[in-house]
């Protein structure tokens, strides 16, 4: 608070308290009288102009004294912080410290275990589910089944690998996946053949001529990331195109859209949002979901 506002608040506050005392004592003068002001209600209810009863006056004075004591111990007079040293930030930090201590006591029992072993621990999974719902469900859904552009975490299909270490790395550091756009680089007929080949990779009924043309283009523009067999590359986050699991949809039109305009997906890093213990249990929870999706 600047010097001007410090003095502004201090003067206004002190003046208000002094003014309140003056008003109280000024109206406490005078004697009790039976003369009314002339205001009468209901025929016999009259208004008198008498000073406050002493007990009532004393209550008001006590409130002012209480206010003075408050400003001595607590902040309220500009930059004067009070002799007690209280601040809202300090109180918040004390309460957060108490919460952290309780949380640490709960997570401590899992500290020496890896996410893989915790993926079968009911207590750890309960904590992990809470962390997931608070931090991950907004993108992956409360049931972790994802949506268009957000991976399904229950199907055991992993863009960047599904080992405990890789899942922890994804949560901690985030991921950035980019599929380049080929609009203008490939003619329309070749794009259509490539889209059909990718969308119907294992379909024996696909026209051999279409497959041959699509495969030829695939080897030129796609195999470097997805591999010549189309099974992807976890190092790059390039998905497996042969398992009929699609992040952005697997119809011919959706695949064509991906080829023409590319895709850009980002998994935000959580190392500044979650503590290592929280990352560990939420990784265990995600791993447990993927195990349920295994054949």
Record the pTM: 0.72
Residue located via tokens 């080992």: 163
Write out the H or E segment, with its range, that includes residue 104.
helix 88-107
Tell me the CATH number for domain 103-292: 1.10.760.10
Indicate the domain borders of the chain: 3-73, 103-292
Q: pLDDT per residue over 232-287, tens digit each?
A: 999 999 999 999 999 999 999 999 999 999 999 999 999 999 999 999 999 999 99
Which 3 state secondary structure label does DSSP give 150? Answer: strand
CB 129 within 8 A of CB 142: no
d(CA 167, CA 165): 6
Write out the H or E segment, with its range, that includes residue 24.
helix 3-26
According to the model, what pLDDT value does residue 294 have?
A: 52
> Of 88, 83, 139, 103, which is closest to residue 267 (Cα–Cα)?
139
Q: pLDDT per residue over 29-85, tens digit each?
A: 777 777 778 888 888 888 888 888 889 999 999 999 999 999 999 998 888 889 998
d(CA 265, CA 248): 10
55, HSE (Cβ side, Cα atoms, 13 Å): 0
Write out the H or E segment, with its range, that includes residue 115.
helix 115-118
Residue 122, classified by CB atoms within 10 Å of its CB into exposed (0-12), middle (13-18) or buried (19+), is exposed
């Amino acid at each position: 608070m600047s010097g001007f506002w410090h003095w502004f608040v201090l003067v206004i506050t002190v003046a208000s308290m002094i003014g309140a005392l003056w008003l109280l004592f000024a109206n406490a003068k005078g004697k009790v009288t039976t003369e009314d002001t002339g205001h009468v209600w209901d025929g016999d209810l009259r208004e008198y102009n008498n000073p406050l009863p002493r007990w009532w006056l004393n209550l008001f004075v006590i409130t002012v004294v209480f206010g003075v004591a408050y400003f001595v111990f607590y902040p309220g007079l500009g930059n004067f912080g009070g002799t007690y040293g209280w601040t809202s930030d300090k109180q918040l930090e004390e309460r957060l410290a108490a919460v952290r201590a309780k949380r640490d006591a709960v997570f401590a029992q899992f500290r020496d275990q890896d996410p893989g072993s915790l993926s079968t621990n009911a207590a750890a999974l309960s904590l992990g589910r809470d962390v997931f719902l608070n931090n991950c469900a907004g993108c992956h859904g409360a049931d972790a089944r994802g949506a268009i552009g957000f991976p399904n975490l229950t199907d055991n299909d992993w863009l960047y690998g599904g080992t405990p270490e890789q899942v922890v790395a994804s949560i901690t550091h985030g991921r950035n996946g980019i599929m380049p756009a080929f609009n203008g680089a490939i003619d329309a007929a070749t794009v259509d053949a490539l889209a059909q080949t990718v969308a119907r990779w294992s379909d024996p009924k696909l026209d051999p001529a279409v497959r041959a043309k699509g495969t030829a283009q695939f080897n030129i523009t796609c195999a470097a990331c997805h591999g010549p067999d189309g099974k992807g590359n976890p190092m790059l986050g390039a998905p497996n195109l042969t398992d009929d699991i699609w992040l952005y949809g697997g119809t011919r039109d959706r695949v064509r859209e991906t080829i023409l305009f590319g895709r850009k997906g980002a998994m935000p890093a959580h190392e500044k949002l979650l503590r290592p213990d929280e990352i560990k249990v939420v990784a265990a929870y995600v791993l447990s979901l993927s195990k349920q999706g295994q054949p």
